[in-house]
């Protein structure tokens, strides 16, 4: 027998369910059923942490090299998909990552799009990317930029396969429904400036007296060579106290603003010295890592959900938003990473917690 109270509760539930059904055809839905999930007490990313071991991935990259040419593929890339976002071409809710292969003699044809791209060179030497009439030769560890809406193509006139990490803001631009793209008419753009022209103008703590930022809010430097970043980290290590969370960590800057090299993505290089056992931290910007040198491990998540990844050179991993991360290394290592931090900062929603 139903008590009067239970009857009241069940009839209230019935009244509500009937309300939902009746108004649904008008595309109306009650907030109170979803309010908690819409504004969770803390970030609850659907993404999961994940590791891609290079020695497992490389054979598939090389098979892709036999299966399709760079020209036919336009971009011969294996996308690093977040296991919880399969089919969405996304490594986090806002970021895309992939490993691109180019072989000697190949051209990846010219095009442009509003999505910004970064390249981080993982394997091989001597391929180039051309941006707005200037070529940049790739070396492992170089960080190279393709600003939004600039013509770009890639080519390889040297020896051996060249592989790089592509980082793009594709999911973010898709979220805003703000993407445009256009194919070039020439297979590869003609070269109009000598290699190194942008670095000569902007790479020495100087800038041309006249003329605005050539790429707006994006850095005028196309390539941040590893030789420089590595040297900077080593100098830092010599005379700076170790940070208990980050080791020795530098951010790449747009020399004209001091801000991030691209409006949507921040990039970092850090060195964890041998014997480093980092403290845990979490931040709202999910991060994609490319291991440059050395070996180490990262523990991501809390309690039973925590995962520990052991990494070596050329491995890649993702730490989603607000997942606690903690690094350790016996031999020491160098890590490159990128995140969507500039957008969090522009919106005033960036949070970071350094735990003990």
Q: Where along the sequence are the contacts to ligand 1HN (CB under 6 A)?
A: 75, 77, 98, 100, 113, 117, 152, 154, 166, 168, 170
User: Shortest gap between Cβ of 132 and ligand 1HN (angstroms)?
Assistant: 13
Please, which residue, 113 or 282, has the CB nearer to ligand 1HN?
Answer: 113
- Round to whole Å and give the CA distance between 243 and 254: 24
Phi, psi of 246 (to 5 degrees): -105, -10
**Which CB, 140 or 147, lies closer to ligand 1HN?**
147
| Lookup: tokens for 60 | 């598939």
Cα–Cα nearest to 103, from 166, 158, 165, 164: 158
- β-pair partners for 296: 311
Let me know: does 166 contact 118? Beta carbons within 8 Å.
yes
> From the CB of 77, what's the least distance to ligand 1HN, in Å?
5
Residue nearer to ligand 1HN on the CB measure, 51 or 144: 144
Cβ 118 to ligand 1HN, closest distance in Å?
Answer: 10
Strand order in the sheet with 127-131: 134-137, 127-131, 152-156, 107-113, 181-183
Nearest to 289 by CA among 323, 253, 257, 238: 323
Q: Which is nearer to ligand 1HN, 187 or 351 (CB)?
A: 187
- Quick one: 144 or 298, whose CB is closer to ligand 1HN? 144
CB of 146 to ligand 1HN, least distance (A): 6
Q: Are 303 and 202 in contact (CB under 8 A)?
A: no
Of 108 and 335, the one with the shorter C-beta distance to ligand 1HN is 108
Long-range contacts of range 225-234, CB-CB < 8 Å, 24 or more positions apart? Answer: 225/139, 225/141, 225/142, 226/121, 226/139, 226/140, 226/141, 226/142, 226/143, 226/292, 227/139, 229/141, 229/143, 229/269, 230/141, 230/334, 233/269, 233/270, 233/271, 233/334, 234/271
Distance CA 293, CA 316 (A): 12
* Nearest approach, Cβ of residue 339 and ligand 1HN (Å): 18
In the complex, minimum distance from the CB of residue 218 to ligand 1HN, in angstroms, rounded to a whole number = 15
- Name 268's bridge partners: 251, 337
Of 22 and 71, which has the nearer Cβ to ligand 1HN? 71
User: What is the closest distance, in whole angstroms, from the C-beta atom of residue 22 to ligand 1HN in the complex?
Assistant: 44
């Amino acid at each position: 027998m139903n008590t009067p109270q239970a009857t009241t509760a069940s009839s209230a539930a019935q009244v509500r369910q009937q309300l939902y059904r009746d108004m649904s055809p008008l595309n109306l839905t009650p907030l109170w059923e979803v309010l908690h999930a819409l504004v969770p007490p803390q970030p609850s990313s659907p993404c999961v942490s994940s590791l891609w071991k290079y020695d497992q991935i490389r054979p598939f990259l090389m098979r892709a090299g036999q299966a399709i040419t760079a020209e036919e593929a336009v971009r011969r890339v294996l996308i690093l998909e977040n296991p919880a976002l399969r089919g969405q071409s996304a490594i986090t809710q806002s970021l895309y990552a992939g490993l691109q292969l180019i072989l000697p003699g190949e051209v990846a044809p010219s095009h442009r799009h509003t999505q910004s791209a970064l390249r981080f060179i993982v394997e091989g030497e001597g391929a180039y990317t051309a941006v707005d009439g200037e070529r940049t030769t790739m070396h492992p560890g170089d960080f190279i930029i393709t600003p939004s809406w600039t013509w770009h193509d890639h080519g390889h006139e040297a020896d051996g396969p060249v592989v790089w990490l592509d980082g793009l803001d594709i999911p973010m631009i898709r979220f805003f429904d703000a993407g445009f793209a256009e194919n070039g008419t020439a297979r590869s753009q003609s070269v109009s400036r000598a290699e190194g022209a942008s670095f000569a103008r902007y790479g020495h703590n100087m800038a041309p007296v006249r003329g605005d930022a050539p790429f707006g809010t994006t850095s005028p430097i196309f390539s941040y060579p590893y030789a420089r970043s590595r040297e900077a980290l080593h100098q830092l290590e010599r005379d700076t106290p170790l940070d208990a969370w980050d080791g020795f960590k530098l951010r790449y800057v747009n020399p004209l603003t001091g801000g991030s090299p691209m409006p949507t993505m921040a990039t970092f290089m850090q060195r964890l010295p041998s014997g480093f056992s980092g403290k845990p931290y979490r931040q709202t910007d999910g991060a994609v890592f490319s291991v440059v040198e050395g070996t180490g491990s990262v523990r991501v998540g809390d309690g039973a959900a925590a995962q520990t990844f052991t990494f070596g050179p050329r491995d890649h991993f993702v730490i989603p938003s607000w997942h606690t991360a903690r690094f350790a290394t016996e031999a020491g290592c160098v890590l490159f990473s990128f995140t969507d931090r500039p957008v969090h900062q522009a919106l005033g929603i960036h949070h970071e917690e350094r735990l003990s």
